[in-house]
């Protein structure tokens, strides 16, 4: 449980956070939003125990905490592997434990630059190291500042999926973000930082869909697809191929079914949409 009571935070004479009180429960998943410069990163640092309030009290009863700052490591003269080993040792992990964990994380993040120096890596790959660092010790609470920043769409999707798994296993997750994808698919609660204070936001109950366009023998494919879980519509497109709109969490199953039955995937929307609007010329099947 995390508890902030009457918290004020000043940088010099500037008040950044003014009299905030807040409770975050175990296993809660909280998104913190707000305009640029509103104080989200400062609030996260207070929650993580990396900054002390000017006034008031912060209590964080979680022992294993993972924190990924907004700015990934920049010009360190470590390779990716060395950096994670170093960070793990600081966190009290032993060599064997660490090597195993780092190997798992490199796979999880599809990261192929283990022996490259961090300062030579791209922004997105630095961000992956930053996130891996926060996950080293399998934290009970994960505190992430703009975790999707710099990641490509596929990596964003992979990471959101991974966070969902951690959430299902009971990890408390607190993150700042601007992206709908992260907020909508993960948050149980939304907090908005505004005018140095905090207010509860509205959860959107959007159902997310993906569009899969495919070609193949529709007499074989349609009966299976139409009765599959999560499928909303199947349409024939003007170019002769077909489109299925499916709830995002079922899209992998449908993709597999299409491929198993000899179908060919022509296009897959990487962007999750609320629901696709049909364009003129499509025939609903
Ligand atoms: N080291 C610092 N010195 C002076 N002012 C700072 C410092 N760090 C943050 N601030 C100020 O604190 C305020 C809140 O900053 P913070 O980084 O928490 O905003 P944010 O909501 O995370 O913004 P963004 O969405 O752009 O990341 C800003 O006005 C910023 O200028």
125, burial (CB in 10 Å: exposed 0-12, middle 13-18, buried 19+): buried
Asked if residue 38 has its Cβ within 6 Å of ligand 1, the reply is yes
| pLDDT digits 0-9 by tens, 228-251 | 888 888 888 998 899 999 888 788
pLDDT tier, 47 (very low <50, low <70, confident <90, very high otherwise): very high
Mutate-to-test residue for ligand 1 from 8, 35, 37, 174, highest number of ligand atoms within 8 A of CB: 37
Residue with CA at minimum distance from ligand 1 atom 30: 37
Asked if residue 33 has its Cβ within 6 Å of ligand 1, the reply is no
Asked if residue 251 has its Cβ within 6 Å of ligand 1, the reply is no
Q: pTM for the full model?
A: 0.75
| pLDDT digits 0-9 by tens, 154-173 | 899 899 989 999 998 999 99
Q: Which of 125, 138, 145, 137 shows the shortest CA–CA distance to 80?
A: 125
What is the signed CA dihedral for 181, 38, 24, 207, rounded to 10 degrees?
-20
Number of Cβ within 10 Å of residue 10's Cβ equals 13
Asked if residue 16 has its Cβ within 6 Å of ligand 1, the reply is yes
* Predicted-complex ipTM score: 0.96
Asked if residue 69 has its Cβ within 6 Å of ligand 1, the reply is no
Contacts of 239 (CB under 8 A, 6+ apart): none
In terms of average pLDDT, the best of 75-89, 134-148, 151-165, 215-229 is 134-148
Mutate-to-test residue for ligand 1 from 11, 17, 44, 191, highest number of ligand atoms within 8 A of CB: 11
pLDDT tops 90 at residue 285: no
Atom of ligand 1 nearest to the CA of 178: 25
Q: Which of 196, 221, 175, 234 shows the shortest CA–CA distance to 28?
A: 175
């Amino acid at each position: 449980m995390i508890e902030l009571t009457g918290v004020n935070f000043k940088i010099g004479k500037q008040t950044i956070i003014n009299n905030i009180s807040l409770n975050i429960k175990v296993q809660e998943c909280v998104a913190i939003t707000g305009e640029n410069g509103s104080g989200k990163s400062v609030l996260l640092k207070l929650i993580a125990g990396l900054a002390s309030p000017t006034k008031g009290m912060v209590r964080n009863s979680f022992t294993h905490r993972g924190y990924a700052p907004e700015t990934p490591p920049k010009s360190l003269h470590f390779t990716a592997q060395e950096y994670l080993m170093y960070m793990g040792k600081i966190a009290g992990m032993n060599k064997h434990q660490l090597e195993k964990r780092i190997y798992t994380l490199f796979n999880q993040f599809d990261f192929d630059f283990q022996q490259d120096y961090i300062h030579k890596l791209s922004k997105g790959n630095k961000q992956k190291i930053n996130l891996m660092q926060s996950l080293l010790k399998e934290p009970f609470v994960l505190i992430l500042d703009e975790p999707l920043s710099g990641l490509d769409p596929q990596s964003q999707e992979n990471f959101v999926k991974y966070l969902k798994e951690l959430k299902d296993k009971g990890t408390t997750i607190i993150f700042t973000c601007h992206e709908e994808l992260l907020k909508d698919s993960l948050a149980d609660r939304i907090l908005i930082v505004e005018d140095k204070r905090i207010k509860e936001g509205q959860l959107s109950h959007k159902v997310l869909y993906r569009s899969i366009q495919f070609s193949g023998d529709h007499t074989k494919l349609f009966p299976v697809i139409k009765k599959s879980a999560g499928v909303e519509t199947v349409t024939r497109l003007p170019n002769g191929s077909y489109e299925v709109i499916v709830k995002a969490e079922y899209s992998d199953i449908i993709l597999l079914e299409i491929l198993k039955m000899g179908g060919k995937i022509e296009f897959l929307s990487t962007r999750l949409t609320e629901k696709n609007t049909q364009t003129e010329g499509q025939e609903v099947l």
